[in-house]
Structure 1
Amino acid sequence: MSTTRRTVATLSAVAAAVLASTAVSLPQAFAAPAPTARMVPVQGHRIVGPATGIRHSDSTNWAGYSATGSRFTSVSASWVQPTVTCTSATTYSSFWVGIDGDGSQSVEQTGTEADCSGGSPVYSSWYEMYPAYPVNYSDTVKPGDHFTSTVSTDGSGTFTLKLADTTRGWTHTTTKKSTTASLASAEIIAEAPSSSTGVLPLSNFGTASFTGATANGQPIGSFSPDQMNMASGSTRKATTSSLSGNENFSVAWNHS
């Protein structure tokens, strides 16, 4: 079942929840609206140096690490769900692992969300086979929950997307097909989601800590990955730390 990931601007959180829970039984003319925000391939990607070893780049929507230059069939990491600090503004942030999206127009990914709506935090979890819309899981997500996730493929178009909240004891394993996946990158990312009009304001998530970041079963640092900061023009929106132990890092919020 495809469900609404978050409220549109004209709906209250309660109304959106009612729509999502009744989407299956409603006639087509009254179906819940499509999500207004989604995770998309890296945008505005600009390498700022160096040319060898771990690279550094700025992106308008991604912060974290992305490995390229090989054929990737698995990516894994763990993280602690950040706590968002909300104002009256509606803002978004997501934390995920995935294959593709850096240099390709498909992404196979799963992760969590930390948004602000009407001054209140909204936490959720999801998977997405971009360019298809994301699908929410219904399980409770709270700040401080420990997550572990793996996206893997058999290399012939079948993907397994696994997301586990080890704090609350739930796990989702979703199997999907893709005929467009290029298997060209593997990444562990904090993202400012996008809508049809572009990148959305980034929630103040403080710091997101990722551990055990691997690609093809090896520490992601083994692939001389791209260390990506999120920026809009001269404004730094999120900063990615150096790798520790070749597979651990954090992303710090700087600006919406």
Structure 2
Amino acid sequence: MSKARRHALHAATTLLALLSTAAPALPAQAATQATVRAPIAGHHHDSALRYGTSSNWSGYAATGGKFTSVSAEWIQPAVSCTNVDAWSAFWVGLDGDGSETVEQIGTEADCSRGKPVYSSWYEMYPAYPTNFGNAVRPGDHFTASVTTNGSGSFTLTLRNTTLGWSHSIAKTLKSATLASAEVIAEAPSSLTGVLPLADFGTIGFTNARVNGKNLDASNPSVIDMATKDGVTKATTSGINAGTDFSVTWHHS
């Protein structure tokens, strides 16, 4: 069994165990399914091109070193909802590409019974996510960062500069290997696997930085989201000015 397949199997087993336990109630989540933002799944990567596809991530991930900080900004997108429940999450984080933990913080835009639902959260995967109770609206401007001292202590910060609220969370995770840093639009997962991706249109990430430098200085991989059958779910643009890029929805 290949290393990639062993990692995918372990991630699926961890997710199954996590979602089989009693989980705290989440405010304003789409439908009734418990969701997590999981490590990269179904990852097919061509190292020569620094390009890959994933069934749940779209964006940029830096690997091949030790990563101690990541940050970015974005405008919360509005979702277009049908009668099908769907989910989308936007975040910055450390680990998750080549490692079995993810330390991450961000926002969400979901569809529940045809209605949009917006929220914010942090997650120290494989621990269950924690949702913040503050209002999140389309058009709100967010800044987010995850930093670590390199010895298991993390600070996860999210600010809504439009509404004026912020959270800075101190957490400890000794098992974190700091194998990657990423800025991602994600289709969250549940016990059944990767969930339908909500139509968020296009989200623009700006001022993205890794280890205190512009995103492009980390030589990150660009990741598009696609099913195993080759259906493109979301695509990622090139990096502008060293720090800015966008992700565009194509299919649920």
TM-score range relative to shorter protein: 0.7 to 0.9
Structure 2 partner of 1:71: 66
CA distance in 2, matches of 1:162, 1:134: 15
CA distance in 2, matches of 1:8, 1:77: 25
Give how far 1:173 is off. Answer: 0.2
1:4 partnered with 2:1: no
Structure 1 partner of 2:35: 37
| SS of equivalent to 2:38 | coil
Letter of the structure 2 residue corresponding to residue 240 of structure 1: T
Please list every run of at least 4 consecutive aligned residues from structure 1 whose deviation after the TM superposition is greater than 3 angstroms: 5-9
Cα deviation, 1:169-201, whole Å, max 9, x if unaligned, reads 001000000021000100000000000110000
Structure 1 partner of 2:245: 249
Cα deviation, 1:42-70, whole Å, max 9, x if unaligned, reads 000001x4605xx1110000000000111
Equivalence map 1:112-151=2 (5 Å): 112-151=107-146
1:106 partnered with 2:101: yes
CA distance in 1, matches of 2:212, 2:134: 28
Structure having the higher Rg? 1
1:51 partnered with 2:48: yes
Equivalence map 1:205-244=2 (5 Å): 205-232=200-227, 233-244=229-240
Letter of the structure 2 residue corresponding to residue 241 of structure 1: S
Cα deviation, 1:105-160, whole Å, max 9, x if unaligned, reads 10000000000001000000000000001000000000000000010001111100
Evaluate the alpha carbon distance shift between residue 7 and residue 110 of structure 1 in structure 2; reply closer, same or farther with a 3 A threshold.
closer
Aligned length: 229
Equivalence map 1:161-200=2 (5 Å): 161-200=156-195
CA distance in 2, matches of 1:60, 1:246: 26
The TM-score with structure 2 as length reference comes to: 0.88
RMSD over aligned Cα, in angstroms? 1.5
Letter of the structure 1 residue corresponding to residue 154 of structure 2: F
- Do the aligned residues in 1 keep the contact of 2:202 with 2:248 (CA within 8 Å)? yes
The TM-score with structure 1 as length reference comes to: 0.87
